[in-house]
């Protein structure tokens, strides 16, 4: 376990409550999905939506390492596979990897312009 992976676990308890508020009174239920798998129409990698929320992780869309916050608008749910693959990539970079039609933000486009 690296130090960069330890950070999300430290905020998991409070973040789960935040996510529960976002996803309604049932909170993170068995219907919860990985935001990225869902975006590309991919059902969970084990052949079904992730059955247990314990297999979903709190994901910081813009990584803490890049200035992202723990605020609800920066949090979503991701399966372990997506979360590990995304690592500390900016959201736009990651979304382009899984969806070539993703409309990147002007700020990101400027940051990678030659
Ligand atoms: Zn996923």
In the reported structure, the alpha carbon of residue 59 is separated from the centroid of ligand 1 by a whole-number distance in angstroms of: 11
**Position with higher pLDDT, 68 vs 12:** 68
What is the Å distance from ligand 1's center to 114 Cα?
31
DSSP sequence for 17-44: HHHHHHT-TT-S-TT---HHHHHTT---
Query: What's residue 16's pLDDT?
Result: 56
Contacts of 112 (CB under 8 A, 6+ apart): 93
Pair 48, 107: CB distance under 8 Å: no
Rounded to the nearest angstrom, the distance between the alpha carbon of 79 and the centre of ligand 1 is 4
Residue 90, helix vs strand vs coil: coil
Of 53 and 17, more confident:
17
pLDDT given for residue 90 in this prediction: 94
Q: What pTM, to 2 d.p., does this model score?
A: 0.66
Q: What is the mean pLDDT of residues 15-26?
A: 55
Q: Residues 22-40: pLDDT tens digits? A: 655 444 444 567 788 888 8
Instruction: Tell me, in angstroms, the distance from the centre of ligand 1 to residue 44's CA.
Output: 6
Domain 3-112 has CATH 1.10.30: yes
pLDDT at 110 over 70: yes
Q: How far is the CA of 39 from the centre of ligand 1 (A)?
A: 9
Q: Which residue has the tokens 């002007």?
A: 106
Distance 42 CA to ligand 1 centre (A): 8
Q: Measured between alpha carbons, how far is 86 from 59 in angstroms, rounded to an integer?
A: 10
């Amino acid at each position: 376990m690296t130090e960069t992976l330890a950070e999300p676990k430290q905020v998991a308890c409070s973040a789960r409550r935040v996510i529960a508020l976002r996803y309604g009174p049932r909170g993170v239920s068995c219907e919860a999905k990985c935001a990225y798998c869902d975006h590309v129409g991919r059902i969970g990698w084990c052949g079904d939506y992730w059955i247990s929320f314990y297999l979903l992780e709190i994901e910081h869309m813009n990584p803490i390492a890049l200035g992202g916050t723990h605020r609800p608008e920066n949090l979503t749910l991701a399966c372990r596979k997506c979360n590990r693959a995304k690592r500390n990539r900016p959201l736009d970079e990651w979304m382009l990897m899984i969806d070539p039609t993703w409309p990147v933000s002007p700020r990101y486009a400027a940051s990678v312009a030659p």
